Structure 1
Amino acid sequence: MSIIFKIYKRDMKKIITNTPLMIIIVGLLLVPALYAWINIIASWDPYGNTKGLLVAAVNNDKGAEIKNMEINVGKEVIDKLKDNQSIGWTFVEQNEAENGVRYGKYYASITIPEDFSSSLLSVAANGEPNRAKLIYSVNEKINAIAPKITKSGLTSLQSEITKSVTEEVSNTILNYMNAYGTELEQIKPQLENFINVVSDIDTNLPQIGESINNAYNGAVNMNNFIKNIQGNIYNITNFLDNAQNVIKASNDFFTKFNSAIKNISPYIKSDLAGIKANVNGAKDNLNSFKNSVDTDAKGAQEALKAADANVENAISVINNDINILQSINDILHSDLLSSFINKMQNIRDQLVQNKLNIDNLIKTLSNGSKNFSDAVASVIQNIDKISQFMDDSIGNFDNTISPQISRLVNNTTDMANNSLGLLESEKNTMPLINNLLKDADIGTALGEEHIKSIKDKFPQIEESIHANTEKLKNLNDDEKFNELATFLQKNTKNVSSFLADPIELVQNRVFPIPNYGSAMAPFYSTLAIWVGGFTLLSILSVHVEPFEKVKNLGTTKMFFGRFLTLATLSVLQTIIIILGNLFFIKTYTVDPVVLLIFSIYVGLVFMMIIYTLVSVFGNVGKALALIIMVLQVSASGGTFPIQLTPKFFQNVSPMLPFAYAIGGMREAEGGIIWSSLYYNIGILSIYFFISIIIAIFLKEKVNKKSEKFVNKMRESGLVGE
């Protein structure tokens, strides 16, 4: 140990007393720090200046008309873009946009076509709905990242337009349903009056039967009894005429009500197509995420968020359709419709599960984890299955469910028509009764046989009238009538707002880092420490001069003696880098002390690795150190998540010290999980001791075998020590 420290003291004395060497050492101490600081400052907030990315916006929308109201969604979109500062929106004509994108004046352009409004509102019109289009043109040769940022802005704009249109269309439909619900509630007293009239008729029937029995029992009083009955027949006929007028007045209402219910089928069919479109959009975004992970972490993250938004929109729409179909089925009680609702709920549950999986992928991506490629493939596979299920559901809805709803509509119409039929039947029965009474009058003369015939027919007539009266009473007491009226009178503004935006996202940031520069500091600091060690060993010699009174210093003693010198310089480099990060450019750190101590430890480990390579293998070792550094830049997961890189880099990453150095610094920076920090320290310790073992057992042997080879190279005059 005395010889080791003697070498160290001599080296320190030479550095302090040799001015040129001192100047070089100071430069070597500062250069790595400058390297780290410049890169961290350059990447401090790259996404905070996206408003400098010029994107042309062109509005060719001619507008549309719905329910005598002019609407121009394209103009509303342009107005929103004027208030949007996330991207440099520039509002120009079509030719200017095309030429600007072509020659690089604009990074991209968004064109709103002429039929934009009419396509968006087609869902509320007759016929099949048409999907509206936004034409996105991008010049990808200008910059690799700009297209990802502009497309992210377009995706956000698309979601905002979808939300607004959903709210507007659903509000219009619900307003009509609300009006019918109010009218249904207003007509209810008239319906109750009609039912009371029919009930009075049913109440008088026993009196008629009793009169017939009395006629049968006493022919002497038959003449006066028949006149009394005939008087009642006239009153009953008047009751039926009044009741018919009431039902005819209510029949117009039921016609309007049927029309409103019929509009629900195309609305739901449009929603099913919209769900499929969102599912396909989620699939496309997931594929985009999968394809862009190797080159653009931010773009991949935005694609993943866009897929999450697609699934979220699909869940919102399918929940709305399930609620509407369930409300209809509460009236219809259809096993077929119940089965379809169960299938829709199953698809909804699968969508919810896939959204949870995508949320987990987003969290995994944000936390820098490295193993989720299989999860992405699984989500894409599940989304693809859901898309197929939606195809089956749309076909099933067209072939079976829509006709079932039509039957509900027809049953509603039949309710009014049957009521008229019942009254007409009752009215047609009155002449029969009147004729029977005339026969009874004749029977006074003809005798008991004819009166018995009347008595035998009357119970059947009485039963028919009573049964029809009970049906009308059940209609009045049926809670389904009240449920339907209540459903149609819901607050349209609240419901349409809910349909457009049913979910509020609550973000939970785990180990938050306030800016991109601070997030990149561990990578650039680690790289700077390695560069610092490499530059020291590129300038300073690993050869130790002998002492005058010491014949043989020993290879191991010379190795550790010079290492103390290099380690001291590495510690100084590391301190300058980290303190500069904290106090000069002010990077965010949860625990500065732990960060500084761990970084010094990283510097010592890196110095031992590089020093061992150069000391044992000479110039070849320097080349190896440079190759290892280049490999670690790509395979350490410092910039992009390692899962986004090719398989080779994913396999190599666990074997490289950069990964553990960056991991430990991130613990100190964002929030310490001590087990993770200890793990990184332990792995780095393995590299440290393996380097020592290599130096002890190989340095002297390799140096002797390579001495002739090195001397031969030096004879060329092109190779230094």
Structure 2
Amino acid sequence: MEAALTGSLLSLSNNLDTQAKAAQKDSQALRNISYGILASDKPSDFRESLDNVKSGLEYTTQYNQQFIDTLKEIEKNENVDLSKEIDKVKAANNRINESLRLVNQLSNALKNGSSGTAEATKLLDQLSKLDSSLSSFRDYVKKDLNSSLVSISQRIMDELNKGQTALSNVQSKLNTIDQVINSGQAILKNGKTRIDRLQTVLPSIEQQYISAVKNAQANFPKVKSDVAKAANFVRNDLPQLEQRLTNATASVNKNLPTLLNGYDQAVGLLNKNQPQAKKALSDLADFAQNKLPDVEKDLKKANKIFKKLDKDDAVDKLIDTLKNDLKKQAGIIANPINKKTVDVFPVKDYGSGMTPFYTALSVWVGALLMVSLLTVDNKHKSLESVLTTRQVFLGKAGFFIMLGMLQALIVSVGDLLILKAGVESPVLFVLITIFCSIIFNSIVYTCVSLLGNPGKAIAIVLLVLQIAGGGGTFPIQTTPQFFQNISPYLPFTYAIDSLRETVGGIVPEILITKLIILTLFGIGFFVVGLILKPVTDPLMKRVSEKVDQSNVTE
């Protein structure tokens, strides 16, 4: 009988080794298929073979999982530690599943028309790991696992030969009858699995099992008494417990809608009032953090002033003076405060102060006039086959930027020599004007080159917005909120600020920051134009042809 049990367990182990050996053959087949895919000009022809090998590996993983479940069942029912054996089988199964995942990726790639080169390379690397793992696993099965299963078989036989001891274990479990009732279904399910395993794997031990039951009859009265107690609990106490649970459930079902309604109302009030409360707390915290220290300082300063006035009798002297000298009184009322003005960055006159705004405006208008009078497209038919769209874009951009630099030179030198504008750094004023022209021409040229006439309209709209939102005529803080919001995103803002530095006096940190931001505007528009020109050029040509055919425009 012991030999039959041992033979059954070893049969499962031998079949496990057989499946591992088959997986090694499948691995070799997958390796050959992968090399074929890498070398073939029709890799999709290998897909059917790939799926056939995959089905074999899937069967191996299913059997391995069944073997794991069997070990877990034995571990549970016989109270033995099989975690090492289970982990070994799981590790081998996980390695096979990882290979199956890569096989599925390769199959899907071939199905979608891909060459599968990357997937096949990954699979070859995984197959090397799989072969090494399966070889080690087979050695383990033949040696350690078989030895463990033989030991388990001997333990089962020893327990069956010691029926009295086993019965005492059953007796101890009956003392926890309450837990048995609550988990009865799980115990029945596990018991059925145990019986199925015995009927399938261990039919030869049935006679010894019957003998163990007969040996237990000597202690049956005690067992019967304990079972009777459990049955009495089921008949008498369990119905009362069920009734209490029923009443509790009914109470919850009755009161739950009211509770949920109250909860919804509370949530609604919180959602409604939370923003106002949060804003009020935020304002209070901001005042306490930022304003309160200044107020405290002002109060302390005022207190010191009042103490000093009181100490020097300044107020009394002032009152006496006002009473006795009406001319002094009139002078104090007319000029209560004497102001001392110090010009940190003096500007010659109002015209010089407005020079940065009108210079930047002139450069932008010059860029608009150029794109209106000159074409941004290639009109030479002979060059269409020689130059790419991006080459035309770059060539035209260079042409417009050079003309813009000439315009900027004329405007800036005219400001200095003809209009006699007061500028602190004339050379730097001319250079920054030329630099602004490069940026403005890059922006305007890109818009028109990509979009044609709509691009011209966009450049005009930008001009209008920048006149009001660039902060050139009045401080931006005095303009409507809309223009204050868009001011940081307008090139005019940084161009005017840069030119102001050369007019009133240079602060290097401010000038460098403004020029860097202005540079980012030019680079951003130019890069976008360089990328999108091949995309928009065919579309805009078709739109232009349709517009010309409509006879609506010049």
TM-score normalised to the size of structure 1? 0.32
- Greater relative contact order (Cα 8 A, min sep 6): structure 1 or 2? 1
More helix by share: 2
Report which of the two structures shows the higher radius of gyration computed on alpha carbons: 2
TM-score normalised to the size of structure 2? 0.41
